[in-house]
Amino acid sequence: MAIDPVLEEYLGTLTEVVFDDGLDVPGERAREREEALRAPRLAKPHAIEERGVPGPEGAPDIRVRIYRPSAETGLPVTVYLHGGGFVVGGLDTHDNAVRLLAEQAGTIAVSVDYRLAPEHRFPAAVEDAFAAYAWALANAAELGGDPERVAVAGDSAGGFLAACTGLLAAERGLPAPLFQLLVYPGTGASPGGGFSTSEGADTSGGMSGEELGWYLRAFLGDQDLSALPPYMPPGRAEGLSALPPTFILTAELDPLRADGEAFADRLRAAGVPVEVKDSPGMVHSFLRWMHAVPAARAAAQPAFEALGKALAGARATG
């Protein structure tokens, strides 16, 4: 296993961050946002709009950014949940990824600015993700979209939230997403409900096992793990048969690669159609560096294409 040389060189230009109790979380969020805003835009959607949508009961509105790839009506809608360990990340850090997803998959994309830990611990992010999905279902037509073709997508922690959204839709009586796209997700699918790490993972830039543990502690706090709801973690939940056809994109050098593969195995066992594709030479979070690393952009293409094919196929047979 060897990291892509352009990616390795680019990672060497980034600020090294130590994830421990002394981390300046607001400062890290600002740094990542500024880094993303300096990057060139990879796609120019027909229109971009921001608005607030209703949050869970008793919670504030959720900010969303809506990307329309064209003026065409009746387009599918995809709710996108960004990565960042439930602690960092936002609409700006994943702007390029969602621009490309909207363009390449031919979908209206609704990027969700869910509440972050440690200020807002579990289940805040999960409930925000579900509320945004419920809003997209109810308002797809107003957006110029097709309410019968609403998908979910997410990377890393966002993949976790996307899977939770599908499980909650079944539990709460909403239609299941038409499709789910999960990019290097952490789902807790490994035996015992943990997040297994892959042998040979490169922790020089993407993520380390120590960083993963720090994120989870920030997300869950001191909650009693035995009292968590049945969808936690989604990779070990019952009722996975309720989830839609799934595409999982992993990264060869990602500590979470084994977890994504384990989740795919559990989905297959539940009868869910699933495709897994690995990305040679890539580390965790590579979507954020597509502007600087051609191999990262190429690695993301199969995921966007799979989403577009699933959504277009549903229109053809619907």
Residue 300 falls in which region: left (phi positive, over 0), alpha (psi -120 to 50) or beta: alpha
CA–CA separation, 100 and 111 (whole Å) = 12
Token code pair at residue 40: 């060139």
Of residues 111, 156, 198, 285, which has the active-site annotation?
156
- Known catalytic residue: 70? no
CA–CA separation, 46 and 109 (whole Å) = 12
Q: How far is CA 95 from CA 8, 24, 43, 159, in A?
A: 22, 23, 10, 16
Residue 173 phi, psi dihedral angles, 5° rounding: 80, 20
Residue 86 falls in which region: left (phi positive, over 0), alpha (psi -120 to 50) or beta: left
> Could you tell me if 177 and 168 are in contact, meaning their C-beta atoms sit under 8 angstroms apart?
no
> Is 291 strand, coil or helix?
coil
> Could you tell me if 180 and 158 are in contact, meaning their C-beta atoms sit under 8 angstroms apart?
no
Q: How far is CA 150 from CA 169, 235, 308, in A?
A: 12, 22, 12
Those residues whose C-beta lies under 8 Å from the C-beta of residue 92, and which sit 6 or more positions away, are 33, 36, 37
> Could you tell me if 234 and 187 are in contact, meaning their C-beta atoms sit under 8 angstroms apart?
yes
Q: How far is CA 306 from the centre of its chain?
A: 15
Active site residue ranges: 156
